[in-house]
Amino acid sequence: LLSKLPKLVPSSGWSARWFLDLPLCSVLSTVPSVPPPRDPSSLDPRFLVSDVSFWQPDLGIVDGVTSHLAWSSRVLRPVFLALHRDRGPVSLVYPPVMDSKIVLSHADFFTMPRSDGANSWMPDCSHWNVSNSSRSAVPVARLSLGALRRSWHPKKDIITSRMGPPLNLDTHLLLSPTSWRVFWSLKMPAKAFTPWWRLLHNRVATRSWCYAAKFKLVLSPVCALCGSESENLYHFVVGCLHKSFFWRDVVSLLSLQELLPSDASIWLALTSFCSGDDLVVIDEDVLVALGAAYSTLWKYHWRCVIDEEPWIASAAINLVRQDHVDTQHI
């Protein structure tokens, strides 16, 4: 686990006894000016600090200078000698916190301050975090198995980044299982779920998609409403000038200007249920209102396209009021 998780930096508050349980490959580093006997990152994770040093309970120190029969190993002996300050130029070093608490020279054997023995099963690792988004992190001690799997996912950087246009992730990467449970628990009209579900799965018949699929009725990828840009998914939802004005009216109606100040923030809210640079999860009541408004946008969009009617901003916002008069936010 230590080799698969972000680097664990030992804390100055730890007992030196805890250092013995760390893999050498995760704590050793090289000295730039001195070639090491081997690359420390290539060491097998089964080799621990306790393989080249040991605990002296009477003195309360970690002894890294006394020779040991086991250190005649072809792998471990060069590492032991590279750390020893009395055996020539040092070419491998521990992190500063460990280096200050492990005896690596005979001169320090009786002068090293005594360290208390370990008094718990695990040291305090509250400073050891795993990022779960571009703006936040979770302590490893409280990491769920789902978050652990995401941290190892080959597309982790995409999963934990802010959702921006266009929506180009695989379906199974869009939302976490927890977010999907929130989605299906929203107290929205049944008709509001389908358009939003199609958005989250990138299953919307945009003009650019239909044109690429060579549908006979779609002769151009350009938006049928504004006539100025290709209609991809982002343009369908918020990018079109008409849709941008629509969302501005909705946000004003809901008094959410501070939470959703831009088209990008509305897109982020609809595709990841989050807001702002810190990716704070949006309240369910607000999600319900946004989902209801998006279902109105969906319906009015297709009415205008199929019946070849112009988009009228006042008609669109009136539909929001009429369709969702029972929603407490509208």
Q: For 169-213, what is each residue's pLDDT tens digit? A: 555 556 778 888 999 999 988 888 999 999 998 889 999 999 998
Q: What is the mean pLDDT of the chain?
A: 84
Three-state SS sequence of 204-218: CCCHHHHHHCCCCCC
Helix axes 241-254, 263-272, angle to 10 degrees: 80
pLDDT band at 14 (very low <50, low <70, confident <90, very high): confident
- On whether the pTM is more than 0.85, the answer is no
Strand pairing class (137-139; 54-56): unpaired
Q: How far apart are CA 38 and CA 45, in angstroms?
A: 14
- Looking up tokens 């979770």 gives 138
Please write the tens of the pLDDT for every residue from 35-64. 998 899 899 988 999 999 998 888 888 999
Hey, is 178 helix, strand or coil?
helix
How many CB atoms neighbour CB 214 within 10 A?
A: 7
Helix axes 313-323, 241-254, angle to 10 degrees: 40
Residue 23, strand partner residues: 48
For the chain, give every domain's residue range: 16-108, 129-159, 171-323
Amino acid at 24: L
Give the contacts of 102 (CB within 8 A, at least 6 positions apart): 16, 19, 49, 53, 61, 62, 64, 94
Please write the tens of the pLDDT for every residue from 269-323. 998 888 876 667 899 999 999 999 999 999 999 999 999 999 999 999 999 888 7
